[in-house]
Structure 1
Amino acid sequence: RPLWKPMHLQPVFADSPYYGSNISELLFEKGLCLPSGSNLTPENLTKVIQAIKNAVKH
């Protein structure tokens, strides 16, 4: 899943001033949120690793 949308891009903050750089936007556009819960099973971890390897190949 993608990373969370930066606060300054959320409609509720459309009229609020923004002070910062475009790092959060870059992370939102290009970042990836990986599963990391404490209940992640070895099987799930293997599945995630394989999906990343497959994505990098293509």
Structure 2
Amino acid sequence: MALSIIIVQNKKNLKIIKYVELLDVEYFKDLNLCYIINYYSQTNFNFKDTKLMKEFNF
């Protein structure tokens, strides 16, 4: 199964996107269809942490 990530281009997103180093998607079949997206970035003014995580459960 493929997961598509669509980023709407606006001024705020473009400021954040330029710091992206890696987007990593984890897929867990055993956990009732769960995706975890890990966003790794360079140190920047938008976030204090260099790793952000978002979990999606279906």
Q: TM-score, normalised by structure 2?
A: 0.26
Q: Which has the higher contact order (CA 8 A, sep 6+)?
A: 1
